[in-house]
């Protein structure tokens, strides 16, 4: 951990962010960080409450003379995406994040940084402990499990909060205001397979695809990056039957909302075809590099000899699995008609993992149009239904419909223009923000999302721009100072 981080401006925000990096907080494991935040509020003498799903709510009264302003809810999520490079020794349930200053950015050594949404949470804590910021009543809503299931947002009860305006601090481009987001649904698919004895006439290899950038399956899905699962099964589709090879196991991707960066498979090849197999590996590595020359310059496809396994998939199971993954829709499905440059509908073929004669496949489908999301879910289900898979669609959440006439939007556009000399861009986002769910519970809330500049979230390349944190903080403080009258 670099001591330089504690000296960055604004110090109070970076101090609180540092504290969060020291607390392991992968999705679903937020108890320690929730306890920290609860004690933080109680130490300040503020009303502090933990609801039935683990969300922490803290209420701070208005400063003198601001009692007649609309109440503000500052909202962020406590969990972070646990992604690391395969050669980085790190336990996200035990180890702190090793965050360092990298020129104009703060990044981490070989892991996700947790700026998504740690910087937003740090800013909220800084408002709560401040004695020099002018504001009406402020409520902090710090949710759990945003990254894997939005459990906190799903479980929020009406009546827990009294404010009128929600400021979601979970966007990742300074100078942009978000007023809408995509909805999503998980596709969980399971394919059983049969095994047969390998025999002594095979050579065994561990096949690996590494070096991909990965990234956020909503924000980065339109950047043309490689999906390790799709690349792996493209290779397998083209060589298994030709070489009479067999798939033994597969392990690709790790999180439903991260574009998979790595995939590993164990393959056995008849000894007389082992040399050809190695040639195909080199050939397809070059094919993939040529196709992804700009987006994935560090891509590697490698085969390493390994111990011969006793069993392998039978030919029928293998072909069924390979064809299903190869045919599964992935990436951008449709761009928005209404908002230029916005992805409307996409699928992330996130995880393909075999274990105990069953292969688990996990996809995250997103769309800002509910009917299009349902149609894509039907398409994915149809592919795997033909393969005989068990299909479960779960965790569906609604999108957030933009309101261009929002009062807080008009105010924040004017404040930004006054402070920085230009009007911020107003956008919708293809990622799934909690605003859609929260607005369902509190339909009268006026909502907006903004934040500092974060690059490569959900990947070990994640970093946050230092100067943008300063601007984000100043903008938040000025907005609180100018909240409309009730």
Q: What's the CA gap between 9 and 297, in Å, rounded?
A: 35
Give the DSSP letter of residue 400.
B
Are 445 and 436 within 8 A, CB to CB? no
Q: What's the CA gap between 115 and 174, in Å, rounded?
A: 14
Class of residue 304 by CB neighbours under 10 A (exposed 0-12, middle 13-18, buried 19+): exposed
For 220-257, the DSSP string reads STTS----HHHHHHHHHHHHHHHHT-EEEEEEE-S-TT
- Whether 478 is a known active-site residue: answer no
- Whether 146 is a known active-site residue: answer yes
Residues 6 or more apart whose Cβ sits within 8 Å of residue 231: 209, 263, 288, 301
The active-site residue out of 30, 79, 139, 434 is 79
Cα(first)–Cα(last) distance of the chain, in Å? 45
Burial 97-112 (b: 16+ CB within 10 A, else e): bbbbeeeebbbbbbbb
The active-site residue out of 30, 116, 139, 146 is 146
Are 329 and 376 within 8 A, CB to CB? yes
Strands, E, within 320-476: which ranges?
331-335, 343-355, 358-367, 390-397, 425-429, 446-449, 454-455, 463-465
Q: What's the CA gap between 118 and 124, in Å, rounded?
A: 10
Region of 5 on the Ramachandran plot (φ > 0 left; ψ -120 to 50 alpha; else beta): alpha
Q: What's the CA gap between 156 and 150, in Å, rounded?
A: 10
Are 386 and 370 within 8 A, CB to CB? no
Are 60 and 128 within 8 A, CB to CB? yes
| Structure token digits, residue 161 | 């909060």
Tokens 């299931």 belong to which residue?
A: 149
* Torsion, CA 461, CA 467, CA 470, CA 473, rounded to 10: -50
Which residues are marked as active site?
A: 79, 146
């Amino acid at each position: 951990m670099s001591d330089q981080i504690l000296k960055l401006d604004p110090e109070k925000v970076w101090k609180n962010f540092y504290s969060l990096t020291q607390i392991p907080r992968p999705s679903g494991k937020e108890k320690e960080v929730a306890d920290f935040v609860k004690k933080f509020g109680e130490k300040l003498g503020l009303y502090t409450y933990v609801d039935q799903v683990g969300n922490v709510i803290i209420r701070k009264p208005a400063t003198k003379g601001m009692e007649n302003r609309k109440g503000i809810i500052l909202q962020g999520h406590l969990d972070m995406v646990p992604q690391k490079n395969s050669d980085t020794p790190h336990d996200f349930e035990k180890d702190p994040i090793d965050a360092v200053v990298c020129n104009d950015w703060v990044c981490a050594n070989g892991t996700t940084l947790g700026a998504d949404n740690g910087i937003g949470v740090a800013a909220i804590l800084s408002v709560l402990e401040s004695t020099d910021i002018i504001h009406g009543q402020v409520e902090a809503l710090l949710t759990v499990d945003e990254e894997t299931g939005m459990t906190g947002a799903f479980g929020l009860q009406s009546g827990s909060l009294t404010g009128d305006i929600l400021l979601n601090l979970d966007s990742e481009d300074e100078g942009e205001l978000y007023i809408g987001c995509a909805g999503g649904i998980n596709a969980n698919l399971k394919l059983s397979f049969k095994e047969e004895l390998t025999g002594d006439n095979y050579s065994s290899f561990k096949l690996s695809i590494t070096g991909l950038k990965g990234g956020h399956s909503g924000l980065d899905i339109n950047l043309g990056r490689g999906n390790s699962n799709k690349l792996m099964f493209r290779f397998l589709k083209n060589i298994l039957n030709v070489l009479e090879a067999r798939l033994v196991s597969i392990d690709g991707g790790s999180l439903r909302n991260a574009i998979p960066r790595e995939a590993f498979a164990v393959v056995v090849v008849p000894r007389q075809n082992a040399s050809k197999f190695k040639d195909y590996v080199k050939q397809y590595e070059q094919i993939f590099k040529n196709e992804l020359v700009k987006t994935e310059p560090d891509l590697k496809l490698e085969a390493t000899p390994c111990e011969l396994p006793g069993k392998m998939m039978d030919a029928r199971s293998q072909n069924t699995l390979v064809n299903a993954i190869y045919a599964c829709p992935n990436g951008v499905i449709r761009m928005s008609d209404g908002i230029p440059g916005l992805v409307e509908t996409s699928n992330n073929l996130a995880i393909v993992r075999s274990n105990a004669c069953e292969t688990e496949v996990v996809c995250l489908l997103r769309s800002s149009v509910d009917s299009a999301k349902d149609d894509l879910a039907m398409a994915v289900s149809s592919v795997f239904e033909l393969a005989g898979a068990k299909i479960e669609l779960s965790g569906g959440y609604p999108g957030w419909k933009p309101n261009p006439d929002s009062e807080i939007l008009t105010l924040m556009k004017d404040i930004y223009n006054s402070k920085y000399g230009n009007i911020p861009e107003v956008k919708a986002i293809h990622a799934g923000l909690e605003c859609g769910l929260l607005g369902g519970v509190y339909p009268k809330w006026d909502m907006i999302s903004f934040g500092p500049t974060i690059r490569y979230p959900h990947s070990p390349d994640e970093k946050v721009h230092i100067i943008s944190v300063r601007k984000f903080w100043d903008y938040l403080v000025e907005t609180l100072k100018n909240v409309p009258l009730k």
